Structure 1
């Protein structure tokens, strides 16, 4: 087996594997190959000089623990049908993660079709979304408060970035989006047969945006951001106008958004919290130093991190510092998966203890662990 990156004139191979594996349309895949594909991000696995599988390592900036850092979104992991079950998937994933770790990438994330697939590589859920559903005919909004406008790259994208950032400001973890990222989101929506609109006051000032696709009887809002109740009601009024053509509306947004409270009849929007994104921490030291910044100067303990893919590691944790050490004596033991969920805020210490995810060898150090208090809100809804 050989693992290497895509070379010139091999993009069509990626397209073929994608078509053979996933349900996306050829129009969508063509857009991806033209707008997102980069040879240096497209990893192949080969047997006897034949490409048998691939994945994409798409680079993004994320906000995590109030810092901005580079990350990788792992997309389109696929093995050709006739080669499945022969170890190529495992080899491809392990080589990718080892390579990314050597490059200094701190965290990798993906949107799994099944949570079990990636657990053996240290991935674990770290971000939920709120999924709201309703029937279009039930939407109680009867008047349009603002204007619905088409999004123009020339005069709208900067304002939309500001709206997105404000909408995401209370999230512990979120994607960093600039004008180019939003532009690609809107292009991706169009390639998927959808549309994007803005919401604006009479003076033209933008108050929000939404991007959506349609499938059968359903309309799916892929992303939205808005500044006030009138903007959200205008959005809902817009979708109500489709009630003679479509039946259901589905909205995905961040956990804790409370979208149902923006309607006078809050029971109309039925809410479900759904796990969405799995994470895999690669740079343990950096995250440990950040989450234990609140320790006092004289407080420290030794933490062992168990990792099935990489070797287990021990760290001496003190105020804002994590020193990797070689020792058989440690106070607390956790897995890389549990550390990931503590850092992302998916679990707090009390929950992890109840779930028996923390092995305490020195009870006197337990109060130090409880100083981890990250926010719980996060939002990752990336599609490419």
Structure 2
């Protein structure tokens, strides 16, 4: 196997890491694009780690320092990205070694939850990540677009993202797992992944209530982002999209899973495709639960959680979770597991998916990935906020 070392990647490793990235993800960058990537990496807060075998880079991964909304509250989140290995070094356990190391680093940095986009769901599930959100893609033929309706506001084309930032943050905070975007994210990520037009919608009082990021190309209108704060705004944006009917044949949009556009259509039989998208993992159970915004109730609830986490031993064991009437959590690790039947037994992936709102307790019971008394199950489920998980970004 040779001499194996884990190293923090710096600018001196940039060329070597870019060679691996371009090979693994099958793209080619010009010298100009490489320099843009170098600037972005230097500016965006992140840690890039590599496995070196006999002094040569064999595998690498990045943790982006991001912020996400869960239950309307901001959480520091470690976004795992750029996981790559040269073929001659695959199946040697190097990525597993990196992932365990990244978990330790994220915990130390106060990033108590982590997201990633998997190349294979089964692979990352072994390390504790679990699906937390899906994308619902609409493909709407022009004749199927919603009827245009009158609206009181107006659309303004924008040349920068400044006017839409606050609208996005308000919208994103309503979902679980959406990013709170930094200025650097708007600067580096959005223009590359979501090029085209910026159309801001102001209501009759002149208040910004939504916007559309979109691109028209080859008779297709691609909706990169459709953000709205009111039902009136939603209808106005779709009327605006329908105004493009003379130049397009179809519109395509990756919508949140709870979107109900077909209910507004004269012909709701549009093409819809739902696919799993990102995975999530709680990095530190105790810290995450203490910050988690449980629902308020009339009484205090006490739940015992027996968590299995093979790759983060600080999570592996039994916890007493006391949820106050106000929804504040008090968490303590127990040295003795309560009598059989008292604790809710589950893996770290199931707990992560559950608290992100992607699945309910009953779903994991049905899949035999959770065991516990029905009273415990019901008390916990009743304190979890019912929010949709949605991520309109990629990393």
TM-score, normalization by structure 2:
0.82
Match of 2:70 in 1: 64
Are 1:196 and 2:197 matched, yes or no? yes
CA 1:80–1:371: 2 relative to 1, 3 Å: same
Match of 1:126 in 2: 132
Q: Which residue among 208, 226, 229 is the counterpart of 2:228?
A: 226
1:217-251 deviation line (CA, Å, top 9, x unaligned): 8654332313511123213433x4543xxx55321
CA 1:267–1:295: 2 relative to 1, 3 Å: closer
CA 1:25–1:269: 2 relative to 1, 3 Å: farther
Match of 1:253 in 2: 255
| Counterparts of 1:344 and 1:202, CA distance in 2 | 32
Match of 1:341 in 2: 353
1:18-56 deviation line (CA, Å, top 9, x unaligned): 110114452566543332455952211111111112112
Structure 2, unaligned stretches of length 5 or more? 324-328
Match of 1:164 in 2: 168
Structure 1, unaligned stretches of length 5 or more? none
After superposition, the CA RMSD in angstroms is: 3.2
3-state DSSP class of the match of 2:11?
A: coil
Are 1:152 and 2:153 matched, yes or no? no
| Counterparts of 2:368 and 2:132, CA distance in 1 | 18
CA 1:18–1:237: 2 relative to 1, 3 Å: farther
| Counterparts of 2:358 and 2:107, CA distance in 1 | 23
Deviates most, 284-293 or 300-309: 284-293
Are 1:326 and 2:339 matched, yes or no? no
CA contact (8 A) 1:213 1:220 kept: yes
Match of 2:308 in 1: 306
| Counterparts of 2:347 and 2:14, CA distance in 1 | 38
CA 1:297–1:230: 2 relative to 1, 3 Å: closer
3-state DSSP class of the match of 1:350?
A: helix
Match of 2:326 in 1: none
| Counterparts of 2:218 and 2:24, CA distance in 1 | 22
| Counterparts of 1:336 and 1:29, CA distance in 2 | 38
In the comparison of the two structures, how many residue pairs are matched? Answer: 372
TM-score, normalization by structure 1:
0.84
| Counterparts of 2:377 and 2:228, CA distance in 1 | 42
Are 1:356 and 2:358 matched, yes or no? no
